[in-house]
Chains A and B, each alone.
Chain A
């Protein structure tokens, strides 16, 4: 059984994924239903009415779903749970988090403990992101050097 990692009040926890989600796709979607997107689907404003959006990673090194997540969050303002599905690999999680994913269905072959340990390997990043829109040059006073 895959593991589901979910963020809640700044805490991440993982449990066996026992949720039975009745996914719809772009053709069968209705407001209030959970919607599963392929990484090359075009996002639109109607999707923000989904109860949950899943985006599928066809391979762990395919970055299209990252852009799709950014668009759903920043362009269309989706504020519900955004879930990474498919080839979800622990080493991509930190990118996913910053692109606005809030839950992850970890592939069954991945170790959940390892995954929890690498969710946020960096204390700060250069660019803005979905979780913190300001780049470092707006967030911090750059240029200070301790000798």
Chain B
């Protein structure tokens, strides 16, 4: 993991003091609501429906056990004993006092953390593959370059007051778990023929009101040019992005208006002036960051195949968890473990202070002190010896983190929605819960296979509903909460690029949603065929083959009886 040096520490400390002084000026009546809003947003503080919400940055989703213990302590001391894992790999606290936020930031700084640029119209926390540095399908660990971008974008003098928020995602694996196609800028990193890290840059992707897949604007960019190229992209966006209408202010609208070629030309015209300038990344800096993410001291272990097989036979629950939540590690004898937060009755992504503490302990015991937060709002222990999996599973079960549902229907992505968020059209958490209650039979869920249900409480799409296999969006119908359902979206899984879901038709009342999901699943089960390798066709493949018509038919059949 990256360790702060003296410079990082001093900067974050000065940021805390700067924000403390701003808060004091607000409390003294010297800053208006609107002025302070802009300043507090750049420090992750929203004012939600019920209370302020503080979003803590977890850079590219990587945390140390010590940092997670600190988050647990903050949850106890300043919140109501829980925190929320967000869909952008961050951690949110829903009940801090505005006056106490500088103290929380001070506590975060003590473990090299902050809440800088986790909201506001600026470059947000860069996200990546939650299995970075561990996954077997990875060509290069993207985190050194994420850290490079994090530092460059922090408190940037020119790009902290953009037309709109700006999200960058990076991936370095075959399967794009970072969903780079639906980010303002998506970056794919790989090694070129000479072994140097190279980058493909995509611009103008995004979800929200006008979902768009990003366009490739640069390929094969050598690492030393990464920051100057991004600088030029940001400058073109900062100068020409729309500011008259916040719904048309994201970079995707600009790229569409200019056309991807037009945008690229503008960027290149700017870049010739900064390319090879002082912003060019030095070899020493690349080495420094790459060496911060070297492999942990793995032991040479055998694949524990036989042993695991025996444990599976004896414990069907373990067997399901292993099949569903444990992934291949690039180091033999190790595994990547997802600890699911998706338990019926608990809002997706919510974790208690005790859970944070035990997960931090497990990270120390089983995973070299390191853990991750996934955009599916789960914890990940990236480097677990296979011989410890059974023990870990038993402990996870006891702590309410052992659900064997990663990627299954009940592993829903869900934004905070109307229960917390002042922008919401509708609640999302009760919808997730009602669906979890309807589908609580593990065997049935496993038979269904991978199925992403993503729920957003409004067009802002924090729950990524456009890229859910089944997407659920809260809409307002004459003051009542309704839900629009879309089908066939995905964020770039299994080696394919992302695609956006198609809307089935008129929206539904909240109590109808579980039944509608049931009908959709019925259509899938009736239509799915066996694939060449004898497995059941996935929901997505089946949907692509049949199209939306059979779903429409069943979902709206005898609508009057619903």
Contact = CB atoms under 8 A, between A and B. Distances in A.
A144 B6 contact: yes
B152 A129 contact: no
B279 interface: yes
A44 interface: no
A123 B18 CA distance: 12
B157 interface: yes
B156 A146 contact: no
Interface centre among A111, A114, A125 (most CB of B within 10 A): A125
Interface string B276-318: 0111011011001000000000000000000000000000000
Interface in A43-66: 60-64, 66
Nearest to B21: A118
A55 B340 CA distance: 52
Contacts of B288: 137, 142-143
A127 B7 contact: no
B39 A91 contact: yes
A126 B5 CA distance: 12
Given A62-B243, A63-B159, A127-B157, A137 B11 contact: no
Interface string B7-28: 1001100110110011001000
A135 B152 contact: yes
Nearest to A121: B18
B30 interface: yes
Band of interface residues on B: 35 or more
B285 A68 contact: no
Interface stretch (A3-11, A27-35, A78-86, A92-100): A92-100
B238 interface: yes
A114 B30 contact: yes
Given A124-B11, A136-B151, A145 B238 contact: no
Contact of B38 (A61, A138, A145): A61
Interface string A90-110: 011011001100000000000
B552 interface: no
B3 interface: yes
Contacts of A62: 161, 243
B19 to A, nearest CB: 10
Given A67-B238, A118-B21, A127 B152 contact: yes
A17 interface: no
Interface residues of A, number: 44
Contacts of A94: 157
B162 interface: yes
Contact of A66 (B21, B38, B157, B284): B157
A138 B278 contact: yes
A45 to B, nearest CB: 13
Contact of A134 (B25, B157, B239, B278): B278
B121 interface: yes
Interface in B132-186: 151-152, 154-162
B452 to A, nearest CB: 36
B155 A125 contact: yes
B38 A98 contact: no
Contacts of A66: 157-158, 161, 238
Nearest to B243: A62
A144 B273 CA distance: 32
Interface centre among A92, A121, A126, A133 (most CB of B within 10 A): A126
B7 A67 contact: no
A135 B282 CA distance: 10
A128 interface: yes
A89 to B, nearest CB: 7
B158 A123 contact: no
B235 interface: yes
Contacts of A98: 157
B8 to A, nearest CB: 9
A92 B279 CA distance: 23
B556 interface: no
27 contacts: A61-B161, A62-B161, A63-B158, A63-B161, A66-B158, A67-B238, A74-B273, A91-B38, A95-B158, A98-B157, A114-B25, A114-B30, A118-B18, A121-B18, A122-B11, A125-B155, A126-B151, A126-B152, A127-B152, A129-B158, A133-B277, A134-B278, A137-B282, A138-B278, A142-B5, A142-B7, A146-B6
Given A62-B243, A121-B18, 12 more contacts: A63-B160, A64-B239, A67-B158, A68-B239, A91-B35, A95-B160, A122-B155, A126-B155, A130-B157, A135-B279, A144-B5, A145-B6
Closest 4 CB pairs of A and B: A63-B161, A98-B157, A137-B285, A121-B18
